[in-house]
C-alpha cells in the first residue's frame, strides 16, 4: 500500500500537470495494465476518472475564488472554456457561473488513501494453470458494462443466438475451459459503468474456424482460475471484485492483458449455480536495485 499511496501523492504534486499513468505504475512497482485494473477495482473508479475528478475539484476552488473560466480551463489542460464547462457540469450539475451563487451545492473528490484491511478469512478457491496457445471460436457483440445485476445487452445477445450455435460450439470445445464460455475483453476506457466491451459466446478450441464464426488466437501463458457457487449473477460478478481486492494483493502475480473467460453451470431454475473465472496473469518481477 505504501507504493500505491506514493503514486497517489505523485498525482497531487501538481494537479495542473499531465499525468503519466505509466509513471504511476512504476512508482507502485507494477505494470501499467495491472495498475489500471487494480486501481479501478480497489477505488471503484478508473485512475483516469479519479485524476479528472481531482483536477476538477482543485479547479472548482479557483472558480469559486473568482478566477476566469478560460484561465482555469487552460491551466488544468482543457482545450477550451466550453470543454471545461461541460466537464464541470457533468461533475456538479451546475455551470461555473451558477457554482459561484450563494448556496450552490457542489461535489468534490477527496484524495484517495489506500489502507490494508484484514479480509479473506474464508480464502479463495483457485488454481494456477499453464496453458498452451489456443483459439476462441464463437460469436461476439459490443455491450455496455454493468457491475451488478443482470446485463440487458448480454441477455438480448444470448436470446438472439440461432439455436444451432450452442450445439456447434459444444462440438468445437476440446481444450480447457471445456464447454460453452462467456468471454469479455477490450473494455473501453475509462472502464466505468456503461463503458463498452466485447462479449463472446464461444468455445476454447484447437479446431479450424467454421464459416460464419469469429475467432481469436490466445497465446500460451499463465491463468488463475477461481471457482464459486451461489446466487446468479451476483456470485459470478463478485469474483472480479474478490480477485482484485483479495487475491492479487496476496499473491506474486499481475493481471495480464487478454480475454477473461467465464464458465457457468446453472441449476435448473437459473437462480443459482457454479462458475469458473479464468484470468490471464504474469509473475511479478523484482525491480532492479537502485
Residue 177 reports pLDDT greater than 70: yes
- 117: confidence class by pLDDT, cuts 50, 70, 90: low
pLDDT of residue 118: 41
In this structure, are residues 92 and 57 in contact, taking their beta carbons and an 8 Å threshold?
A: no
* 124 vs 13 pLDDT, higher one: 13
Residue 75 reports pLDDT greater than 90: yes
143-174 per-position pLDDT tens digit: 988 766 678 889 999 999 999 999 999 999 99
The overall average pLDDT reported for the chain is: 85
- 109: confidence class by pLDDT, cuts 50, 70, 90: confident
Residue 244 reports pLDDT greater than 60: yes
34-71 per-position pLDDT tens digit: 888 888 877 778 888 899 999 999 999 889 888 999 99
In this prediction, residues 85-109 reach a mean pLDDT of 87
In this prediction, residues 186-190 reach a mean pLDDT of 71
Residue 138 reports pLDDT greater than 90: yes
Amino acid at each position: 500500500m505504501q507504493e500505491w499511496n506514493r503514486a497517489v501523492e505523485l498525482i497531487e504534486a501538481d494537479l495542473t500537470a499531465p499525468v503519466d499513468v505509466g509513471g504511476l505504475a512504476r512508482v507502485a512497482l507494477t505494470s501499467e495494465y495491472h495498475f489500471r485494473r487494480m486501481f479501478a477495482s480497489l477505488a471503484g473508479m478508473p485512475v483516469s476518472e479519479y485524476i479528472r475528478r481531482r483536477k476538477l475539484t482543485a479547479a472548482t476552488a479557483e472558480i469559486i475564488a473568482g478566477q476566469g473560466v478560460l484561465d482555469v480551463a487552460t491551466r488544468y489542460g482543457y482545450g477550451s472554456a466550453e470543454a471545461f464547462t461541460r466537464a464541470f457540469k457533468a461533475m456538479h450539475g451546475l455551470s461555473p457561473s451558477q457554482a459561484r451563487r450563494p448556496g450552490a451545492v457542489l461535489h468534490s473528490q477527496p484524495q484517495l488513501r489506500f489502507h490494508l484491511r484484514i479480509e479473506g478469512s474464508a480464502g479463495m478457491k483457485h488454481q494456477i494453470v499453464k496453458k498452451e496457445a489456443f483459439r476462441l471460436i464463437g460469436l461476439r457483440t459490443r455491450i455496455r458494462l454493468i457491475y451488478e445485476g443482470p446485463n440487458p445487452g448480454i441477455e438480448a445477445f444470448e436470446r438472439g443466438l440461432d439455436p444451432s450455435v450452442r450445439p456447434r460450439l459444444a462440438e468445437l470445445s476440446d481444450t480447457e475451459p471445456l464447454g460453452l464460455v462467456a468471454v469479455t475483453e477490450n473494455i473501453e476506457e475509462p472502464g466505468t459503468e456503461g463503458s463498452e466491451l466485447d462479449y463472446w459466446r464461444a468455445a476454447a478450441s484447437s479446431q479450424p474456424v467454421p464459416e460464419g464464426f469469429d475467432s481469436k488466437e490466445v497465446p500460451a501463458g499463465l491463468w488463475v482460475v477461481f471457482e464459486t457457487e451461489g446466487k446468479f449473477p451476483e456470485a459470478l460478478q463478485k469474483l472480479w471484485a474478490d480477485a482484485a481486492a483479495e487475491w492479487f494483493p496476496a499473491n506474486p502475480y499481475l493481471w495480464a492483458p487478454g480475454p477473461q473467460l467465464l464458465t457457468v453451470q446453472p441449476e435448473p431454475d437459473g437462480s443459482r449455480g457454479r462458475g469458473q473465472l479464468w484470468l490471464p496473469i504474469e509473475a511479478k518481477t523484482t525491480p532492479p536495485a537502485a
